Each structure stands twice: as structure tokens, then as C-alpha cells.
Amino acid sequence: MGDVALDVLRPVGDEQHRAATARLLDDMAALPPEAPVRLGKRTSNLFRQRTTDSTRLDVSDLNHVIDLDPVARTARVQGMTTYEDLVANTLPHALMPLVVPQLRTITLGGAVTGLGIESSSFRSGLPHESVLEAEILTGDGEIVVARPDGEHADLFRTFPNSYGSLGYALSLTIELEPVHPYVALQHVRFCSLADVQDAIGQIMRTRAWSGEEVDFLDGVVFAREEIYLTLGRWADSATGQADPSDYTGQRIFYRSLQQRERDLLTVHDYLWRWDTDWWVLARVRGAAAAGAPPMAEAEAAQRRLLEDRRLREPASRRGLGGRPAREAAAGAGRPGRRDPAGADG
Ligand SMILES: Cc1cc2nc3c(=O)[nH]c(=O)nc-3n(C[C@H](O)[C@H](O)[C@H](O)COP(=O)(O)OP(=O)(O)OC[C@H]3O[C@@H](n4cnc5c(N)ncnc54)[C@H](O)[C@@H]3O)c2cc1C
């Protein structure tokens, strides 16, 4: 499970959650009434500079699963819990959130308020559509519980896409879905966007392509005439391929789309397949402009670093939870900023 610390693998329970929210209310009450606030999170996936000063609310102890009901297939999760930690809690129950964004450090609250999306969205919608209940800290320092019906239904309805402007999600109760051990992939090349659009329409209508079921759907445009849709299908065994692929070391997932038509990943590696390619962000984050090495060199150097780090990892960690050693390295090199001092939010 990579960098996932052992303490996040145990739901904290309601009492600990209540204590954390009570501390937060005290912090809010201690602020001058007009003081602007922002979240003091440990991670962030925003790449913008702040222009105004505001007080960081310390939400560092609101990043755990509170409880998980494998029978009802629901979990109550603190708002600042990263998807990496959330998935590490659900997979041992053979469950996952209905939508898992591609970066491990995106938090549940961030994805719900920021309209997340991923390859199961064509069948499961956006992350907020599997929220059953939201506990929200409002701007006037009150905690309210918003549900689709009832007193705070308007807040529940408008919270998605509000980016923290209507309040902060302290906990969210979400639906979970069963997983299979593997995801079988087919990369289908198209030469025009019109054809891709037609294919997406057909898959959304029929949930199938060339007679095979489609459970996951995403795509990459390499060039105007080189577009791939990656179709994922749940699989119970590693059929068609001796071992599932591993893109956590020297191999690069996005390049595999051009190199092979079929592939197989464990469900864990499928969920984080893009996260292993995090250096695509180097350009976004302006590293190239600041004199960073060319992308190919930077990629190779970072792949080597990951490999080194994996080999140096103690065997006890590598084998954590009975997972193959390669999965222990999957947490290395995560893209979102880990910022113990509290990231912008
Ligand atoms: C390279 C990259 C790839 C991405 N890939 C995906 C993807 O595959 N799927 C996807 O769905 N999204 C993706 N995103 C978008 C990402 O989901 C959103 O930016 C999301 O809002 C980030 O969440 P975060 O937890 O990192 O929040 P932050 O970056 O810390 O904050 C984002 C905003 O959400 C607000 N916010 C955060 N937590 C809460 C909370 N608990 N309650 C209320 N408001 C809150 C903050 O105030 C801020 O306005 C990607 C973003 C980047 C930069």
C-alpha cells in the first residue's frame, strides 16, 4: 500500500471524529468574526497563487475514514481524507468509491466540492452523486448535516462546484461498489474526434464495445489523428496475460496505450495508473520554464529514483497486507503536494 501509514487503515469511529470537529469549532470561534479563513490541508492539487492573506483552519485531524459498513456498502469519511487512504480502507473489503480520481492526494471533500470525474463516471456520475449525507462547517461557524431531503437540502444540492465557498465538508457518507481483482484493458485507436464521439455515445448507451462489456472508459489525445479510448472491464482472473502489468517502475502507462492493444492491471494498480505518470505535471507546474531538464530526461531520472526507493524499502513494508512487493512502491512519487505545514485550500 505504498506510503499509506498504518493508522489510516483503521476507521477512527464517531467519538474521535466528534472530538476533531469540536476542536475545529473552538478554532473558528476564536477568530475575529470577519477574518477570512481557508483550509489548512496537508495536500493540495491547486496550482494557483493566493493574492490575499487568510487564516488557515487546522483540519489535519480530519483525514480518516470514520466508519465503513461492508454490508450496506457505505462509508462515512472525514472531508480531508485522500483517495489513497480511502481506497486503502475500502479495497480490503473488496469495495471502492464509485468514482476514484486519478491522483492519490485528491481528497474526498476536494473532489465533491470541485466536481471530480474519472473513468467510471460514464456509469456512476461524478463523486458528489454518490454522497448520501454531508456534514458541513458553514461560514458562520455552525456545523449542519445536509441531505438530499430536509432542512439543508438546498446546501446539499448546491455544494458541488462551490469550491469551499458555501462551507467545508467535515465528513461525507458515500456509497461504495464491489470490485473484482483485475481490470482488463483494451486501447482502441481512432483517427478522428468525430469517431471517438460516436464510440463514446455507443458505449454510454450499450455499456459494451465489440461485444465486450465496458466498466471503465477514458481516453487520450496524442495528436489530431491519434486518439485512444481505453476500455476497462472487470476480470476475476489474470486471463490472456500471465501477470498483470506494473507501471510503478521504469515503464510508463500513457505510452503503453500506443504500444499494446490489450493489458491487465490489478484493481489497485488500475485505480492509480495515471498517478505513476505524475511527471506529466512538470510542465503544468512551470518546472520546464524554470530550467528543468527536458521531459524525457526528467522522466527517466524520476523512474530511476522510484526504482531505487522501492528496492531500499524494507521487506516488511513491501509486503504489507499481503500485496506484491511492486505495489508497495506505488505510493512513491505521488503528484499532489504533501505539505505538512498546511497547503492552500
Ligand atoms: C493534474 C491534475 C489532475 C487531476 N485529475 C483529476 C481526476 O482524475 N479526477 C478528478 O476528479 N479531478 C482531477 N483533478 C481535479 C481535482 O479533483 C480538483 O482540483 C479537486 O478540487 C482537488 O481536490 P483537493 O482535495 O486536492 O483540494 P484542494 O486542491 O486542496 O482544494 C481545491 C478546492 O476545493 C476546496 N476544498 C477542498 N477540500 C474541501 C472540503 N473538504 N470542503 C469544501 N471545500 C473543499 C478548496 O477550498 C479549494 O477551493 C485533477 C487536478 C489536477 C491538477
Mean pLDDT of 116-124: 96
Query: Ligand 1 site: residues with CB under 6 angstroms?
Result: 39, 41, 43-46, 79-80, 101-103, 106-107, 109-111, 113-114, 116-118, 163-164, 168-169, 281, 336, 343, 345
Residue 2 counted as domain residue = no
Instruction: Identify whether 18 is part of a domain.
Output: yes
In CATH, what number is assigned to the domain containing residue 110? 3.30.465.10
Place of cell 465503513: 68
The structure's pTM equals 0.83
For residue 333, the CA-to-ligand 1 centroid distance in Å is 18
Please choose from 87, 107, 174 the residue to mutate so as to test ligand 1's pocket, defined by most ligand atoms within 8 A of CB.
Answer: 107
Q: Considering its fold, how many domains does the chain have in total?
A: 3
- CA 48–ligand 1 middle distance (angstroms): 12
**Pair 54, 162 in one domain:** yes
167, part of any domain? yes
Answer yes or no: are the C-beta atoms of 164 and 59 closer than 8 Å.
Answer: no
Q: How far apart, in whole angstroms, are the C-alpha atoms of residue 154 and residue 270?
A: 36
pLDDT-derived band of residue 337, with 50, 70 and 90 as boundaries?
A: very low
pLDDT bucket at 46, cuts 50 / 70 / 90: low
- Can you read off the three cell numbers belonging to residue 40? 489548512
Is 1 a domain residue?
A: no
Best-predicted range by mean pLDDT among 8-12, 22-26, 322-326, 327-331? 22-26
Q: What is the mean pLDDT of residues 170-192?
A: 98
- pLDDT at residue 252 in the model: 86
**Phi-psi bin for 216: left (phi > 0), alpha (psi -120 to 50), beta?**
beta
Task: Tell me: do 32 and 168 sit in the same domain.
Answer: yes
Closest-CA residue, ligand 1 atom 27, reads 110
What is the 44 CA–ligand 1 centroid distance (Å)? 7
Check whether residue 18 and residue 163 sit in a common domain.
Answer: yes
In-domain check, residue 8: no
- What is d(CA 99, CA 118) in angstroms, rounded to the nearest whole number? 6
Question: How many Cα atoms occupy the beta-carbon half-sphere of 276 within 13 Å?
Answer: 29
**Ligand 1 atom, smallest distance to 166 CA:** 43
Query: For a pLDDT cut of 70, what percent of the chain falls above it?
Result: 75
Same domain membership, residue 286 and residue 222: no
Question: Could you tell me which of 43, 118, 47 has the C-alpha nearest to residue 273?
Answer: 118
Looking at residues 313-335, what average pLDDT do you find?
Answer: 32
Domain hosting 120: range is 14-178+328-344
Residues 48 and 173 in one domain: yes
Looking at the structure, tell me whether residues 87 and 222 fall in a common domain: no
Any domain includes 70: yes
Do 57 and 106 belong together in one domain?
yes
Shared-domain flag, residues 257 and 316 = no
In a domain, 227, yes or no: yes
pLDDT in tens, 213-271: 999 999 999 999 999 999 999 999 877 777 899 998 778 899 999 999 999 999 999 99
Site to probe by mutation for ligand 1, drawn from 113, 129, 339 as the one with most ligand atoms within 8 Å of Cβ, is 113
DSSP tag of 36:
-
Q: Are residues 188 and 255 in the same domain?
A: yes
Would you state the pLDDT for residue 40?
77
Are 184 and 233 a contacting pair, CB within 8 Å? Answer: yes
CA of 47 to the centre of ligand 1 (A): 10
Q: Are residues 25 and 170 in the same domain?
A: yes
**Pair 173, 213 in one domain:** no
The pLDDT mean for the chain works out to 82
**Is 42 within 8 Å of 63 (Cβ atoms)?**
yes
Does residue 7 belong to any structural domain of this protein?
A: no
